[in-house]
Structure 1
């Protein structure tokens, strides 16, 4: 392959589909990652994770020779455009962790040349783009926005919808200096979606508050679910009362609210918040749902020690193989602390788990932790009735079978569904 037009540093769930999409539009792309398992997979023509449409694009760009791979960050400096899609964690003390970004910058600094652009694609805290621009200017003396172009173009695409949304969602670009936004906007214009120019800080805030909005929005029905248990009410019926033919309704349904973006991104605001604790409270609600379900099962079954509990789903979201920051793992750990015999089934993830039949056999309780479409069928409900212990407890915060019971028994739910 000739000199790359674009280098994408970090070829995980954000960076790899982006690299493939650039290459599919005729740009010469270099994908860079430190994980041997990712590089081994893509070099062998295999996707290392589930992303609809990606295997076909990977095959196409590999055949076309528009993509190559490396494990050396310094190799990215050969490209005119460098896009950084690294994970952006926070420390446990509500402090943003910039070590990975600084490490990449240190590798790139000796090789940067005038005319190149640096784009931060992953979620970052406010003023991180300004930090990157200042770091480059401090150590290399480049005029940002004139000689080197630095911008934040936040990733806002839903899991499993990359190739659908990259061409439709407006692309926000927050550039530092006079021409950074223009240069990076031209790069991303190859996808045909609208380009929205703004400041780096507004781009950063728009991204993190998109996720904060969803995280807080889903905390409300989760808290309502807990309140309904306290007062002997049905959360699904209460939500229906709130929303039915009411123009100011809009209450969402409860469930596990997690995933690597939603769980951590509130920390990017909380670190310097003028209202400290508000978003932590929303986090506390969502994080309490696994314990709420375990305690609810205990109230109905008694002690769980020695009882078999089937957990359906490890992924954080329906129809995805992504387990990052999934609350299912927290649920499993809590059940194990109760000395329950935990059996797990998830047809999407790569983590070894049991078959549906093995998980359900003689289970005293079945907890739907992920609302995968395979679970929300009459066949799965019937399988629970046939294979689980007689009249097993079913815990379904997602209302998978539209019977409106967070806690119900197999015969009860089957009758409600049939009716």
Structure 2
């Protein structure tokens, strides 16, 4: 075979994995249908930020193709394409089926097929059955099918690929063994299990985080209702209490957390429970807009609002499914004059100075390190209007106030 491993989908999951395989000495084929992405890679340019990945791209060899069928030239095929959910809470398998249909005529006996993206329970068995139905392959004997879920955090790929246990759920006798050997080129331990347990482990890892972050966001909204300070309440919950552990509020989104709960909700034994978790997070942008409106005289029409941050979390350029975009859309519907700055995303935004200058309100939507601390607060006070309202659900400035005027924030920080 021409390649040891083919990675289908060179996004934020697939491309770092392909580069790491190549760095371990494997012959790697990367497959993607995005011509701009392939052009960037042929020019040795990373299409997104991932610490250390550009250095790998500079030194390793990575063959490229825009045809999924070419992946059959490799002994191992790792599929990292997106796994969306339809709007009415139904799993969308069209992209996976499309890839399988491209591979079916050329897939060779002895190949392994690894699902790396987050998938709904039963999807790995579906893929194995699809190959058996249309090609007559016996999974675990003729071909080796497994789910090896991606659990690495954005910005930590090169670190966590060698440290996080790699879960492998294989179909049939030998699938887990074969796929375990592939991922054994990394230093992380291999944990063998069944396909459905691997699927559930990944889904519920994300659900746990999503639900955990919903609690402080709901508390933040409750505190506004009762005239309480969410940061002080969280401190009371956690301080010297062995059963505390409440997280801090903030805009919680991202392409994984914002969608993966639907993979359980589709067939849930408690329908609506996880939808309620989602509704809490989806309500936060509106909560912030309503708080702005109440404090700025009942209307945002014609008021300049600076939104700091489009990325879904601190330290990344990934703005997919970021709630910052929802916040901006809601502000547009209020007829506010919106200025946006983010130092990391690929979307073109205004400079910090232009975004904040003469603003009536400044919203810290993403807790980038660039926004945290006294220096940024001083620049806001210097550039914005005299009575600028600061909205800081992340507590980036350390004042312990979700809504406060800049002078008040500065006084609180100085006294702390």
TM over 0.5: yes
Residue 312 in 1 paired to residue 315 in 2? no
After superposition, the CA RMSD in angstroms is 0.6
Q: Which residue of 2 aligns with 1:32?
A: 31
CA distance in 1 between counterparts of 2:348 and 2:396 reads 24
Q: Within 5 Å, give how 1:14-29 maps onto structure 2.
A: 14-29=13-28
Q: Which residue of 1 aligns with 2:394?
A: 398
Q: 1:67 aligns with which of 62, 70, 81?
A: 62
Q: Which residue of 2 aligns with 1:156?
A: 151
Runs of 4+ aligned structure 1 residues displaced above 6 Å come to none
Q: Which residue of 2 aligns with 1:330?
A: 326
Structure 1 residue 415: deviation in Å? 1.1
CA distance in 2 between counterparts of 1:413 and 1:87 reads 42
CA distance in 1 between counterparts of 2:287 and 2:62 reads 48
Residue 259 in 1 paired to residue 263 in 2? no
Q: Within 5 Å, give how 1:192-231 maps onto structure 2.
A: 192-231=187-226
| Conserved? CA contact 2:302–2:336, under 8 Å | yes
Q: Which residue of 2 aligns with 1:3?
A: 2
Q: 1:179 aligns with which of 174, 178, 188?
A: 174
CA distance in 1 between counterparts of 2:227 and 2:334 reads 25
CA distance in 1 between counterparts of 2:370 and 2:87 reads 36
Q: Which residue of 1 aligns with 2:57?
A: 58
CA distance in 1 between counterparts of 2:402 and 2:40 reads 41
Deviation by residue 1:273-304 (Cα, 9 ceiling, x = unmatched): 01000000000000000000000011111210
> What residue ranges of structure 2 are gaps of 5+ in the alignment?
none
Q: Which residue of 2 aligns with 1:48?
A: 47
CA distance in 2 between counterparts of 1:377 and 1:248 reads 30
Q: Report how many aligned residue pairs link the two structures.
A: 414
TM normalised by structure 1 equals 0.98
CA distance in 1 between counterparts of 2:311 and 2:185 reads 32
> What residue ranges of structure 1 are gaps of 5+ in the alignment?
none
Deviation by residue 1:96-138 (Cα, 9 ceiling, x = unmatched): 0000000000000011111100000000000000000000000
CA distance in 1 between counterparts of 2:138 and 2:349 reads 54
Q: 1:107 aligns with which of 102, 118, 128?
A: 102
Structure 1 residue 377: deviation in Å? 2.2
CA distance in 1 between counterparts of 2:412 and 2:229 reads 14
User: Secondary structure of the residue that 2:326 maps to in structure 1?
Assistant: helix
TM normalised by structure 2 equals 0.99
Q: Which residue of 1 aligns with 2:404?
A: 408
Structure 1 residue 318: deviation in Å? 0.1
User: Secondary structure of the residue that 2:250 maps to in structure 1?
Assistant: coil
